[in-house]
Structure 1
């Protein structure tokens, strides 16, 4: 009897509905989703290949690019294939272990992405505010330590999430109104007091993405102050152009991320709107990051054109 009760309250599978209210349009929605996923794979794969094979790009800024590109590849592959299976084949069942693994990967990798963006902001701060010491401060050893620290922070702080969720009883329903498994989506299905878990999740979010965002804004305030104090107009333009790609990428990442996070916990947004925004959060940054860097970073752009056999105009 106890075993039966445990099985009922701790299901072996969950059901992902996709986008409730838009079921009839799932096939049509899958077309841009699939196109974006293919662009993400090609763009980030090409960016990684170019940085790996070109020794002149083995500098802190480009190494942080490659870390971000790798995280983008993993997070899009963690979510999009299952989403497309829901849209195309109505394959809505997901094993509990796979669901918990998806939650860990999504949240830990987005935390890592936030950390890599902070590292890139620090790199630009040193390059513009203290250029003579840039190579001495950000050596390859230091870059590797920063990268490892960002990865460990994401893994350690988000590691408890799947274990905490696995212990919760789910007596309300096993159906998740989403295209992928999400921490708060499962918490809302539990029939137990989740106050501590919610508080822990909020604390982790503040200590990672929230704190990163504050430090990124602070670093760019210092950067802009240093840029506008430069005597040469060309120097100011070059410095602003270098920072432009980073600012674009951060806006693409943080805007849907904060909207999704806040609406899930405090807002009353229509379910299909929330789910579409949550998908933008994992769809658009992996697609747009390599495009933004490829277009706005001359050395990457020239190398990509060379690899593709296109002569720059």
Structure 2
């Protein structure tokens, strides 16, 4: 549903996008990650026909965004970094306005507005001005507005930035439901957890270029650094547990003084089952035991050489 090849966009002497390429299959989520200024929002604006590319091929639903922009817009919904709803209008009036702009008759627009307000749990606030909504309610209304035209492709540009974790998870569920209905979603985000939870593929941008494009699991495997983690149930068993782990991995495990968690690299995935047997043989009980791939935070740092993006409880510049 989305096809981008050799995309170039310049702003004066600055090359915002330098031969960028990626695809998104129908009914999937592609997560676009990157530091500030990497070109994520520029890609979204080009897909939404708000900015013309300087070179390359950009298609939505098989339609070229420069040659058939009106037909592309009919396929696509967009939620930007900032809520686009009118605070002076009620929830219903906002959605009816979008419906009318999309060519719906007034009765059809009102029916669609009522349907979406209920879906996003805004029915009880439908007659209130949007200016009285909380940040999460405004974000849900904004997302509802992007769905008035029943788009086949939805571009979400950092849709949950600044929202509390509860509201963020509510929007994640909405995205999952849309994808289940066959909608293709392009999601730019500053939250690596968000990409990990939602994205079928992750495209990592850095300095206007794509530096990685694969599933979250495959990106983690590519970086490597699989580790085994164990925390003894009894604090006094920490040294004995560390000796067992060191013997199996050949590496002295690192220790978290605060939690008592021991961590060591695990080249062999069978180390976990072997560790269970050895700890049992030594009479050492554990409170936590896991074999983990690197997080997307670690993948991002390895690929870009920059610190990880904000976590779900932090703010952060767009």
If each structure's helix is expressed as a fraction of its own residues, which one has the higher value?
1
Q: Which has the higher strand share?
A: 2
TM-score normalised by structure 2 residue count: 0.22
TM norm structure 1: 0.23
